[in-house]
C-alpha cells in the first residue's frame, strides 16, 4: 500500500500469467541489435482509459494468457548462455501481472498529467510511478531484469483505469511492444488470433562482427519536465511551408524536430563554434523487407551534428532539409554496417548537454489499443531521467487533436527561453 495525504493505492493481487496453452520449449537467440548492451533496459509506459475499470483486470489477464500462446517467447526469461550473447529461453513461466486500486478518480489526479498533484488539502505530489506499480518482484530465481514483460492494472473510482507496462527492450522495440498489446486487445475483444501474427525471424537482422563500443558516461543534468502540445492545423501549416520551400513533402516529425533543435540550441546560448547534436532511431523494417509480424528490435540511429551558429542562422525549413538528408544517409550507413564496411559501432552514443535524443511514439500503435473499452485517452512513456536530454513525440491525449512533446531536455536555467521559442508562433 502506498499513499500520500488521503490518496492511496492498494495492491490487490500479483503473480505470473502463463500462456493459456502449451508452447514450444526452446532457446531463441536474439538479434545483434537486441543484444546491444543499452537495450537490456526496461521501458516503462502508462496507458490511461476512461472506463472499464471493473472488468479490465479479468479481461486483460485472460487475453494476456491467450496472446502469450502466439508470443510465447515473451513468457520466457532472458538468459546468457554465453557471455555477451543473451537469448530468450522459452520457459512458459509467464509475465508479471498485478492488480491494484486507487481510492480517487482519474479526474482527481488530472489524469496523471504532470505535475502530478492532488487538489485536496493543498497541492501534494503523487508518488512517481506508484499508481503504475513498483518494481516487479522476483519470480523463481530470476530477477526483474530477466523478465520480458510486466503489467499492472490500477483501478480508479468513477470507472477509469491505468495500465502500467514495462517491457525489456532486448525482447522487442517500441513497435514490437505495441504489436503485442494490440494482440492482447484482439484477444480481449474475442478474436481467435491476433490480426498481425508474430514472427521471430531474428536471424534476418544483420549480425556483423562489429563489437559494441563502451557504455557511455551518464552526466547528471537536472532537467526540467516540459509538456508542449501542437494542433494538427499548426503542423499541417509547417508542412505546407516546407512543400513551398523545397517542392517536397515532409512529416510532422520532421518539422517539429527541426523547430525543437533550433529552439533548444538558441536557449542554450552556446559559443558560435560549439557543436550541437541530434539523434533519433528510425525503423529499418522496410530496408530488410521484414514480415509485418516481426516484433524484435529493427532500428538504426539517425545522427547529425552542426555548429550551433549553423542551426541558428538557418530557417526552420533549412533545418528540416538537414534532417531529411540525414534520413537519406541512414539507409547507406545501415547497409555499410550490415556488410561490415565500417568498423565503427553506429549505436555508440555520447550523452552530454549539447546532444539531444528524440523518440517518436506517435505511430507505434499504442494509441490504437482497444481491450473492449475504447482506445486510451493517453498512451506514452514515463520520462523522468536526469542524464539524457530527450524528447518524446506522441499523439496528444484525447480530446486534444494533434501532437504532444514530452520534453526533458533543458535545465531550469534554459527552460523559459526554450518554451518561449517553441510556443511563439502557436495559435
Q: What is the pLDDT of residue 3?
A: 39
* 340: alpha, beta or left? (left if phi > 0; alpha if psi -120 to 50): left
CA distance 225 to 282: 24
pLDDT digits (tens, 9 = 90+) for 32-88: 999 998 888 889 999 999 999 999 999 999 999 999 999 999 999 999 888 778 999
CA distance 422 to 265: 12
Q: Is 47 a catalytic residue?
A: no
User: Which one, of 181, 180, 177, 172, lies nearest residue 201 by Cα?
Assistant: 172
Q: Spell out the residues 6+ positions from residue 164 whose beta carbon is closer than 8 angstroms to its own.
A: 44, 45, 46, 47, 129, 131, 132, 133, 151, 152, 153, 154
Q: In the structure, what pLDDT confidence band is assigned to residue 129 with cuts at 50, 70 and 90?
A: very low
SS3 (DSSP) at 26: coil
Q: Which of the following is catalytic: 39, 47, 139, 169?
A: 169
What is the set of domains in the chain, with CATH numbers?
Answer: 2-198 (3.30.559.10), 226-423 (3.30.559.10)
Q: Is 143 a catalytic residue?
A: no
pLDDT digits (tens, 9 = 90+) for 212-250: 888 777 777 889 999 999 999 999 999 999 999 999 999
CB burial class (10 A; 0-12, 13-18, 19+) of residue 407? buried
Q: In the structure, what pLDDT confidence band is assigned to residue 6 with cuts at 50, 70 and 90?
A: low
Q: What is the mean pLDDT of residues 324-332?
A: 96
Q: Which of the following is catalytic: 62, 142, 345, 370?
A: 370
Residue 152 has pLDDT above 90, yes or no: yes
CB burial class (10 A; 0-12, 13-18, 19+) of residue 150? buried
Q: What is the CB neighbour count within 10 angstroms for residue 122?
A: 8
Beta bridge partners of 11: 100
CA distance 309 to 208: 37
User: Which one, of 224, 176, 225, lies nearest residue 199 by Cα?
Assistant: 176
Residue 132 has pLDDT above 80, yes or no: no
CA distance 411 to 127: 22
Cis omega (within 30 of 0) for bond into 399: yes
Task: Give me the DSSP letters along 303-371.
Answer: EEEEEHHHHHHS-HHHHHHHHHHHHHHHHHHHHHHHTT---S-TT----STTEEEEEE-TTSSGGG--S
Q: What is the mean pLDDT of residues 370-398?
A: 89
Q: What is the mean pLDDT of residues 287-304?
A: 97
Amino acid at each position: 500500500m502506498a499513499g500520500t495525504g488521503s490518496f492511496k493505492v492498494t495492491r490487490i493481487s500479483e503473480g505470473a500469467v502463463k500462456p493459456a496453452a502449451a508452447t514450444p520449449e526452446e532457446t531463441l537467440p536474439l538479434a545483434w541489435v537486441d543484444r546491444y548492451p543499452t537495450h537490456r533496459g526496461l521501458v516503462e509506459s502508462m496507458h490511461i482509459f476512461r472506463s472499464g475499470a471493473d472488468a479490465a483486470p479479468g479481461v486483460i489477464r485472460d487475453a494476456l494468457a491467450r496472446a502469450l500462446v502466439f508470443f510465447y517467447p515473451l513468457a520466457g526469461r532472458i538468459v546468457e548462455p554465453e557471455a555477451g550473447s543473451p537469448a530468450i529461453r522459452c520457459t512458459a513461466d509467464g509475465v508479471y501481472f498485478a492488480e491494484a486500486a486507487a481510492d480517487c478518480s482519474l479526474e482527481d489526479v488530472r489524469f496523471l498529467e504532470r505535475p502530478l498533484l492532488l487538489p485536496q488539502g493543498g497541492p501534494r505530489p503523487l508518488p512517481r510511478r506508484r499508481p503504475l506499480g513498483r518494481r516487479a518482484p522476483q519470480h523463481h530465481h530470476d530477477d526483474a531484469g530477466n523478465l520480458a514483460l510486466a503489467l499492472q492494472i490500477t483501478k480508479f473510482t468513477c470507472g477509469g483505469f491505468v495500465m502500467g507496462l514495462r517491457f525489456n527492450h532486448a525482447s522487442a522495440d517500441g513497435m514490437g511492444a505495441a504489436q503485442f498489446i494490440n494482440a492482447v486487445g484482439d484477444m480481449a475483444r474475442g478474436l481467435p488470433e491476433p490480426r498481425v501474427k508474430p514472427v521471430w525471424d531474428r536471424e534476418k537482422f544483420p549480425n556483423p562482427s562489429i563489437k559494441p563500443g563502451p557504455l557511455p558516461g551518464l552526466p547528471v543534468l537536472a532537467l526540467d519536465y516540459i509538456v508542449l502540445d501542437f494542433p494538427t492545423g499548426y503542423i499541417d501549416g509547417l508542412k505546407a511551408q516546407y512543400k513551398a520551400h523545397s517542392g517536397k513533402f515532409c512529416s510532422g516529425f520532421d518539422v517539429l524536430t527541426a523547430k525543437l533543435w533550433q529552439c533548444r540550441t538558441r536557449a542554450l546560448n552556446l559559443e558560435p563554434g560549439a557543436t550541437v547534436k541530434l539523434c533519433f532511431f528510425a525503423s529499418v523494417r522496410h530496408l530488410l523487407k521484414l514480415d509485418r509480424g516481426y516484433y524484435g528490435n529493427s532500428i538504426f540511429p539517425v545522427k547529425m551534428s552542426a555548429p550551433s551558429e549553423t542551426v541558428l542562422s538557418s530557417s526552420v525549413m533549412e533545418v528540416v532539409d538537414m534532417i531529411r538528408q540525414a534520413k537519406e544517409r541512414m539507409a547507406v550507413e545501415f547497409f555499410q554496417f550490415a556488410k561490415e564496411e565500417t568498423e565503427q559501432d553506429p549505436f555508440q552514443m555520447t550523452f552530454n548537454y549539447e546532444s539531444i535524443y528524440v523518440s517518436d511514439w506517435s505511430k507505434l500503435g499504442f494509441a490504437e489499443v482497444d481491450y473492449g473499452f475504447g482506445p486510451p485517452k493517453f498512451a506514452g512513456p514515463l520520462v523522468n531521467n536526469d542524464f539524457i536530454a530527450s524528447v518524446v513525440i506522441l499523439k496528444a491525449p484525447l480530446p486534444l487533436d494533434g501532437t504532444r512533446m514530452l520534453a526533458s531536455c533543458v535545465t531550469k536555467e534554459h527552460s523559459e527561453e526554450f518554451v518561449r521559442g517553441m510556443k511563439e508562433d502557436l495559435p
